Amino acid sequence: MSKPSTLSGAVVTVFGGGGFIGNYVVQALLARGARVRVASRKPETSWPLKPLANLGQLQFARCDITRPEHITKALTGTDYAVNLVGAFAGDLNHLMGEAPGQIAAQAAANGVRGFVHVSAIGADESSPTAYAKGKGLGERLVMEGFENTTVLRPSIVFGKDDNFLNMFGGLIEMAPVLPVFGSDAKLQPVFVDDVAEAVAVALEDPATHGGKTFELGGPEVLTMMDINTRIAAAAGRDPKFMAMPDALSGLFAALPLTPMSRDQWALLKAGSVVADDANTLADLGIGARPLSLFLGKWMTRYRKFGRFGLANERNKRRVSNS
């Protein structure tokens, strides 16, 4: 029989728990017997998780972390806290810097036993991009407010319901020719369940993991062209990919109403790879799972004939080879 988790019965408040990563973090905590409070501007996005919780194990708090009084209410009676809030638009210094610092300071004042702050690879307070600057500011302020904070810096996070793989899958499904921006940019995609596990493991043992920063990446470093090619193959599609020159990509990102902002282009071009000397998933006892383990199943929806597409393609090859 496995050893009971130190989180069993404890109240864990997850700020930003209604988002993509948040839903997986909540599940990892529920599985350990924690009583989870989802603190989010739209907590109803996590209501589908209700069947996974025992009676009274899952709570919801409507919370805007830019309002200190909301943070105070959300932290009432909390044993452990997690901050997952992130964005690409708005006052990012406030949302991802000052507000997380306020969460950390209030958590420390309220006797919270452990705090995990999810940042991003490339976070840098001196960065010219608002996103990386806001994340960097947040890292400094949470450490100042709660010195035993565990900071997790994931690369691009993927999952079956993400906005990354599914965006490219949808584009590949529709278009026979596709531009690839930052085709040589190097990324280290990390599975969302592995990120959620990292959050839970760090919370379970703040004495060991607190005060440290971990960079979370998968077992493979891939370029944007690699990723697009793999998605197309898994979807049974054969589009023509066109690597776009950096100058043209930068011009595109500068235009209004495009799906990629200047900051997003700058971050993509810089890449997102775990540093050689960083603490990693392995240091948390977690084996990173590769993108290739899941793509075949997840990209079925983008096949020409859905789940029957692969069988049809195999039959065509058999006929052509006979």
Helix (H, G, I), strand (E, B) or coil at 38: strand
Query: What's residue 2's pLDDT?
Result: 60
Would you state the torsion angle of the CA atoms of residues 27, 273, 149, 61, taken in this order, to the nearest 10 degrees? -40
Tokens found for residue 20:
């993509």
Predicted confidence (pLDDT) at residue 177 exceeds the cutoff of 60: yes
- Residues found in the chain: 322
Q: Where are the alpha helices (DSSP H) in the chain?
A: 20-31, 68-75, 92-93, 99-109, 130-145, 165-174, 192-204, 206-209, 224-234, 246-254, 262-270, 295-298, 309-321
Query: What's residue 284's pLDDT?
Result: 98
pTM: 0.92
Distance CA 156, CA 147 (A): 27
Q: For residues 63 and 57, is the Cβ–Cβ distance under 8 A?
A: no
Contacts of residue 51, defined as CB under 8 A and 6 or more positions apart, other chains included, come to none
Distance CA 99, CA 169 (A): 35
Average per-residue pLDDT in the chain?
A: 92
Distance CA 46, CA 35 (A): 14
Query: What's residue 255's pLDDT?
Result: 84
Closest CA to 98 of 137, 150, 147, 144: 137
Region 144-172 average pLDDT: 96
Query: What's residue 308's pLDDT?
Result: 58
Query: What's residue 278's pLDDT?
Result: 98
Instruction: List pLDDT tens digits, range 261-270.
Output: 888 888 999 9
Instruction: List pLDDT tens digits, range 100-149.
Output: 999 999 999 999 999 999 999 999 999 999 999 999 999 999 999 999 99
Residues facing residue 11 across a β-bridge: 35
Which value, in Å, is the radius of gyration of the alpha carbons in the chain?
Answer: 21
Region 52-67 average pLDDT: 95
The fraction of the chain above a pLDDT of 70, given in percent, is 94
